Amino acid sequence: AGVESMSNIPYYLPSARFGARLSNKEMVCGIMEGLHAGSKVYAPQDSYIMGMTAENCAEKYGITRQMQDEAALHSQNNAENSTNNGKFK
């Protein structure tokens, strides 16, 4: 089963890669950097976070939560059937 664990995403100390010496260093939140896919460019075309892509696509194409849940259940059932029939190991 798929599980997300956002609370386990670390903070990073980018300056430590090549040796951080005797001063305060900036720590980077892995969640916020991950939401922007690591992009340092926050231009108008990159002004939304990666996590909003699914919501934007769902709205644009009229995909409801019910439809998403049905697709997920269908996928899980296919995987279970394939595993039980020896087609998927």
Q: Given this model, what pLDDT does residue 16 score?
A: 78
Domain boundaries, the chain: 1-47, 51-84
Q: What's the whole-model pTM score?
A: 0.46
Q: Given this model, what pLDDT does residue 44 score?
A: 47
Structure tokens at 86: 């020896």
Q: Given this model, what pLDDT does residue 43 score?
A: 47
pLDDT bin (cut points 50, 70, 90) of residue 21 is confident
pLDDT digits (tens, 9 = 90+) for 42-83: 444 556 666 677 888 899 999 999 999 999 999 999 999 999
pLDDT digits (tens, 9 = 90+) for 27-40: 877 776 665 554 55
How far is the C-alpha of 31 from the C-alpha of 53, rounded, in Å? 16
